[in-house]
Chain A
Amino acid sequence: MSVQKMIELVGVRKSFGKVEVLKDITLNVARGSVVALIGPSGSGKSTLLRSVNLLTVPDQGFIRVGEQALDFTRGHRLPGDRELSAFRARTGMVFQTFNLFPHMSVEENVMAGPVKVLRMPKADARTLAHELLAKVGLADKATARPDTLSGGQRQRVAIARALAMKPEVMLFDEATSALDPELVGEVLAVIRSLAAEGMTMLLVTHEMAFARDVADRVVFMRDGCVVEEGPARQVIETPSQPATRAFLSHFHNGLGPS
């Protein structure tokens, strides 16, 4: 492969009880590229995303993000709290339900990672937080409480909070699925600008038009397997697998003109 791989997953398996949610997944994300994970609910795409930063620890497989790699193949020691935390600190994650810390102000949310994890002095962290809040268009909300914000604003704060760790990659887990339709655009605009800056991103999404327009590659998953993978426009507009076609047929009305 000529492009450098930023995220590399090899042979990743995960079961919850008797249900195998990820069946031998191999996935690469090139540095600076955007990959969209699509598929029906229960296909394992969120579990796959969560295993990239080890919020879900796989049963088997090899995971590398940037310089850091962890091997979960049999015989390897399981990483402890310190290793897991260090690994996660290099990736940013944005959740469907925002998960802002409700007992902290907006700027404290953004400062939490740098101050607690990176031991950055508070004054520096505050400056950084204000820069990032300006970047997501919320400079005037620094001292607001999260529960006074709209869903779209909360999600933009969550993006700023993740960016504050200066992550090598950003993971988005259905970042717009809990938003009212009129608020989706403002969050997608922020993600789009990150893509333009060259941030490596892996996103689980149900916004097919967005995946087609912003992602470089699209990965279609079903029943814990990668069914089809390729350039975004090709997978979404002319899928080669019947399962991908069947899934995408539910969306074509909403795809709109390209």
Chain B
Amino acid sequence: MQYQWDFGFLLQYKGLIGVGVLYTLAFTIGTAVSGLVVGCMIALARLSNMRVATAVVTGVIEIFRCTPVLVQLVWVYYALPILTGIELSPSVAAFITLTLYGASFFGEIIRGGIISVDMGQWDAGRALGMRRHQLMGDVILPQAFRRMVPPLVNQTVLQLKNTSLLSVLAVPDLLYQGQLITSASYRPLETYTMIAVIYFIILFPLTRFAHRLEARMSH
């Protein structure tokens, strides 16, 4: 049987699709920023001499790195409110989960970047009498940042793809809108093809950008 492709009907859902794209992008950018902030704190805690802070943070990171995001999302939305008595809206639960999930990876990238800077650079800055924050800001981070950018971009790409999991909590991201359109139109082939194409259009330039950065760094 020959399937009759017909993408025309999707036009009438452009409002829904627009909302989906907006949610996907907003969650990606929002949790990338919050994840970077939390990730920075994680990296500094792990690099500090405070044993307790290091141990706690390392434990949390491992939990987020070694369980699937989907499980984390469901757990934070359904189980956490029962434990704490605090009701979370799907969007808030999703935001918290993706922030912490992203942060546990961002944190390791940032920490890796910082410790990849030669110990002699710390010696040189200290020998000049630089304070800890000057040393970090003027000597270590500018060198570490160059090495961090490509993996940070790659992690952000993954973060955007992970937002598709928000659909299980009925957050109206791109995939969730696709499911809505499918159940109304009974045309999953066109709908999911279009959803995939939209993800690709957003992500392809980003991965190209990461490649270009990596090539620039390596010479």
Instruction: Name A91's contact: one of B120, B124, B125, B127 (CB within 8 Å).
Output: B127
Specify which chain B residues have a CB less than 8 angstroms from the CB of A91 in the assembled complex.
127
Cβ A99 vs Cβ B124 within 8 A = yes
Given A112-B138, A116-B138: A101 touches B130 (CB 8 Å cut-off):
no
Cα–Cα distance between A236 and B129 once the two chains are bound (Å): 35
Specify which chain B residues have a CB less than 8 angstroms from the CB of A97 in the assembled complex.
118, 120
- Give B118's nearest chain A residue, CB to CB: A99
Q: B83 to chain A: closest CB distance in Å?
A: 40
- The 8 A CB mask of A83-116 against B (1 = contact, 0 = none) is 0111111111101011111110000000011001
Cβ A117 vs Cβ B124 within 8 A = no
A-B CB contact pairs (8 Å), 16 listed: A82-B131, A84-B126, A85-B130, A88-B128, A89-B129, A95-B123, A95-B124, A95-B127, A97-B118, A98-B120, A101-B139, A101-B143, A103-B142, A113-B128, A116-B130, A117-B128
Cα–Cα distance between A97 and B131 once the two chains are bound (Å): 22
Instruction: Name B127's contact: one of A55, A82, A101 (CB within 8 Å).
Output: A55
Task: Flag whether B121 is at the interface (Cβ < 8 A).
Answer: yes
Q: A46 to chain B: closest CB distance in Å?
A: 11
Cβ A101 vs Cβ B124 within 8 A = yes
Instruction: Name B131's contact: one of A85, A99, A100 (CB within 8 Å).
Output: A85
* Chain A: interface size category: 20 to 34
Specify which chain B residues have a CB less than 8 angstroms from the CB of A14 in the assembled complex.
none
Q: A146 to chain B: closest CB distance in Å?
A: 11
- List chain A positions with a Cβ less than 8 A from chain B: 53, 55, 81-82, 84-93, 95, 97-103, 112-113, 116-117, 158, 161-162, 165
Cβ A81 vs Cβ B124 within 8 A = no
Cβ B123 vs Cβ A55 within 8 A = yes
Specify which chain B residues have a CB less than 8 angstroms from the CB of A85 in the assembled complex.
126, 129-131
Specify which chain A residues have a CB less than 8 angstroms from the CB of B138 in the assembled complex.
112, 116
Task: Flag whether B51 is at the interface (Cβ < 8 A).
Answer: no
Cβ A117 vs Cβ B139 within 8 A = no
* Chain B: interface size category: 10 to 19
- Give B117's nearest chain A residue, CB to CB: A102
Specify which chain A residues have a CB less than 8 angstroms from the CB of B132 in the assembled complex.
81
Q: B143 to chain A: closest CB distance in Å?
A: 6
Specify which chain B residues have a CB less than 8 angstroms from the CB of A89 in the assembled complex.
128-129
Cβ A99 vs Cβ B142 within 8 A = no
Cβ A117 vs Cβ B121 within 8 A = no
Task: Flag whether B89 is at the interface (Cβ < 8 A).
Answer: no
Q: B137 to chain A: closest CB distance in Å?
A: 9
Task: Flag whether B154 is at the interface (Cβ < 8 A).
Answer: no
Task: Flag whether B116 is at the interface (Cβ < 8 A).
Answer: no
Cβ B124 vs Cβ A88 within 8 A = no
- Give A56's nearest chain B residue, CB to CB: B123
Cβ B120 vs Cβ A101 within 8 A = no
Q: B127 to chain A: closest CB distance in Å?
A: 4
Given A55-B123, A99-B118, A101-B124: A113 touches B129 (CB 8 Å cut-off):
yes
Q: B172 to chain A: closest CB distance in Å?
A: 44
- Give A113's nearest chain B residue, CB to CB: B128
Most A CB within 10 A of own CB, among B124, B128, B132: B128
Given A99-B118, A102-B143: A112 touches B128 (CB 8 Å cut-off):
yes
Instruction: Name A117's contact: one of B120, B134, B142 (CB within 8 Å).
Output: B134
Most A CB within 10 A of own CB, among B118, B120, B126, B129: B129
Cβ A162 vs Cβ B121 within 8 A = no
Specify which chain A residues have a CB less than 8 angstroms from the CB of B134 in the assembled complex.
116-117
Give me 16 other A-B pairs in contact (C-beta within 8 A), A103-B146, A165-B128 excluded: A55-B123, A55-B127, A84-B126, A85-B126, A85-B129, A89-B129, A92-B127, A93-B123, A93-B127, A101-B139, A101-B143, A102-B143, A112-B139, A113-B128, A116-B130, A116-B134
Specify which chain A residues have a CB less than 8 angstroms from the CB of B120 in the assembled complex.
95, 97-99
- Give B121's nearest chain A residue, CB to CB: A99
Q: Which 5 residue pairs across A and B have the least CB separation, nearest first?
A: A89-B129, A99-B120, A99-B124, A93-B127, A113-B128
Cβ A88 vs Cβ B121 within 8 A = no
Cα–Cα distance between A161 and B121 once the two chains are bound (Å): 13
